[in-house]
Structure 1
Amino acid sequence: MIYLLLSVLSSTIIFVVFRLYKKYDVNTLQAIIVNYFIACTVGFFGYIDGSDFTHVPKESWFPGALMLGFLFIAVFNLAAITTQKSGLSVVAVATKMSVAIPVLCGIFLYNESTGILKILGILLALAAVYLTSIKSKEGISIKSKNLIFPLLVFLGSGIIDTSLKYLETSYVSKTDVGLFSSSIFATAGTIGIIILIVQAFMGKLRITGKNILGGIALGIPNYYSIYFLVMALRSEGFDSSTIFTMNHVAIVTFSTLVGIVLFKEKLIRKNWIGLGLAILSIILVANSAI
């Protein structure tokens, strides 16, 4: 359980950093790319014994790490497009509702436990995610021509979580968690550098110190959010469907509370209802695992 709490804390710090990006006009793409290399470095030098990384491409989990690195960048860019076309609330709902994919995969593919409390908790969690994400009384609206983008964000985010569970279960040893996590970020960072090179040739690249600092501030908690999540998935006594549900809903809850305290965010009635449902869903899912 401690790993789950640490993953939630790390993800909440990511939320705070992203909010500060807006305040200090940080270029999100550049900061994201720097963040991947910082996260990779934290893993390589903080959690890996030895310095010989030449065997990494031979590891059975390496193709999966490459795929996840690509998905990290792809989903980020899809989220940016969705934000431009449909707004932040749509992105928030698509990203957080994606928890349904790993939860369903855990139940049907890994034969994880189900029960009235757990099913009710999961349903309440999905309702909580939606209600806490919308920022207007009217809810969210998406033009039919733009529907493909949030759908891709939903699928991409869900596939990332599901793949983490699959690779962690089938290929990644306990001693390789740090190396596995770092390899994902290294792949994402390399793809990001290619994007920056293209921008440079197009004359659109302008790197500043605050973008680099923003990347450093994001990279450290970002690494730990993945590392601790993988470690939480290895915990005995908790199914992955339970871990993913509690992780996503706890992040929503803590991020919302931090938004109120630090950034003076104003919540509408639907947000408060969602917050209450989030707390209730955590209690139900946690008790179902006991």
Structure 2
Amino acid sequence: MIYLFTSITCSVIVGVLLKLAKRYEISITQAVTWNYLFAIFLSLFFFKPDVSSFNIAQISPVYIVLGFLLPGIFIILGLSVKTAGLARTDIAQRLSLIISLSAAYFLFNEKFDSFKEIGLVFGFIAIFLILYRKSEHTAHIKSWLYLLLVFGGFGIIDILFKMVSQITDIPYTTSLFYIYSLAFVLSLIYTLYLASRKREKLQLINFICGCILGFFNFGNILFYLKAHKAMADNPSTVFAAMNFGVIIAGTLVGIIIFKEKLSKINYLGLIAALIAILLITLSKIYAV
């Protein structure tokens, strides 16, 4: 579980950095681009992937899809927050767990025991209770489109990283290097487009923030993959614990650091999430 804990910590820090970026008017697009460049350097430094024997046949279609989705989901998140609001966007992101768990059952042929089934029920209840907000926001077709893209995008990314962990002909650290490289090239093309067509200035502060973001994003994905490899027979445990853990940790950070106010319903959601994680953890120990 140490891999999951580390991945959750890095994920929450990434969220905090993105929230601070909006506050201090940091360009998300530029920061995301340099984030992948920094992740490439981290991969080269720590893992020393053998790229001398690179063969185009090694590039799995999974890498290509992730190369598009990883930078793309950041842009979609920003558009969704702008049109649908932060709370609804967060709900859509966390509800993508439905896609992940469906894949664990139908695609990866995992059998669910009673502890896990009850834990997942508590988990979904927790998502709605924690993210519940009274809002007068009026629904709009465009906002629902972005919410749907967030929901589907994060669910597909979870599944694809599980598939990357199952690739055996090359090390998963080399797989990460390929994915980061492709994501960087694609996001760089988009950044240069904005600079030339939209007159968006390239600034040093965005590069610095991107490097910091890249460090934690690198850790998030690396340890998420390690968790899937360590619990290869229990993908639903990784999917669920990751999502519920991020919700609990992110909510606590919001209360302590950003002084966000929670209702009694939100606190009930935190309790439900803790019960969910406890039951899912017990499912690894006992079979009912």
CA contact under 8 A between 2:195 and 2:202: conserved in structure 1? Answer: no
Do residues 245 (structure 1) and 244 (structure 2) align?
Answer: no
Aligned residue for 2:54?
Answer: 55
CA shift in 2, pair 1:9/1:238, >3 Å: farther
Do residues 152 (structure 1) and 149 (structure 2) align?
Answer: yes
What is the CA deviation profile of residues 71-124 of structure 1, one whole-angstrom value per residue up to 9, with x for unaligned ones? 112222222221121111121111111011111111122221212221121122
Aligned residue for 1:12?
Answer: 12
User: Any unmatched runs of 5+ in structure 1?
Assistant: none
Decide which moves more: 155-164 or 194-203: 194-203
CA shift in 2, pair 1:75/1:40, >3 Å: same
Alignment of 1:261-280 (within 5 A): 261-280=256-275
Do residues 117 (structure 1) and 115 (structure 2) align?
Answer: yes
Decide which moves more: 234-243 or 148-157: 234-243
Q: Secondary structure at the match of 1:114?
A: coil
CA contact under 8 A between 2:129 and 2:266: conserved in structure 1? Answer: yes
RMSD of Structure 2 on Structure 1 (CA): 2.1
Decide which moves more: 263-272 or 224-233: 263-272
Q: Distance in 2 between matches of 1:194 and 1:178?
A: 25
Do residues 228 (structure 1) and 226 (structure 2) align?
Answer: no
Decide which moves more: 17-26 or 220-229: 17-26
Q: Secondary structure at the match of 1:126?
A: helix
1:67 to 54, 59, 65: 65
Do residues 191 (structure 1) and 191 (structure 2) align?
Answer: no
CA shift in 2, pair 1:287/1:151, >3 Å: same
* Equivalent AA in structure 2 for residue 23 of structure 1: R
Q: How many percent identity over aligned positions?
A: 28
What is the CA deviation profile of residues 39-95 of structure 1, one whole-angstrom value per residue up to 9, with x for unaligned ones? 122112212255x34515332x53311210101122222222211211111211111
CA shift in 2, pair 1:145/1:213, >3 Å: closer
CA contact under 8 A between 2:64 and 2:182: conserved in structure 1? Answer: yes
TM-score under structure 2 normalisation?
0.91
CA contact under 8 A between 2:49 and 2:177: conserved in structure 1? Answer: no
CA contact under 8 A between 1:137 and 1:268: conserved in structure 2? Answer: no
Offset of residue 154 of structure 1:
0.7
Q: Distance in 2 between matches of 1:40 and 1:218?
A: 13
* Equivalent AA in structure 2 for residue 196 of structure 1: T
Q: Distance in 1 between matches of 2:47 and 2:250?
A: 27
Q: Secondary structure at the match of 1:196?
A: helix
Count of residue pairs brought into register by the alignment: 285
TM-score under structure 1 normalisation?
0.90
Aligned residue for 2:84?
Answer: 86
CA contact under 8 A between 1:44 and 1:178: conserved in structure 2? Answer: no
Q: Secondary structure at the match of 2:171?
A: helix
* Equivalent AA in structure 1 for residue 278 of structure 2: I
Q: Distance in 2 between matches of 1:145 and 1:13?
A: 29
* Equivalent AA in structure 1 for residue 148 of structure 2: L
CA shift in 2, pair 1:104/1:139, >3 Å: farther
* Equivalent AA in structure 1 for residue 196 of structure 2: F
Offset of residue 145 of structure 1:
4.9
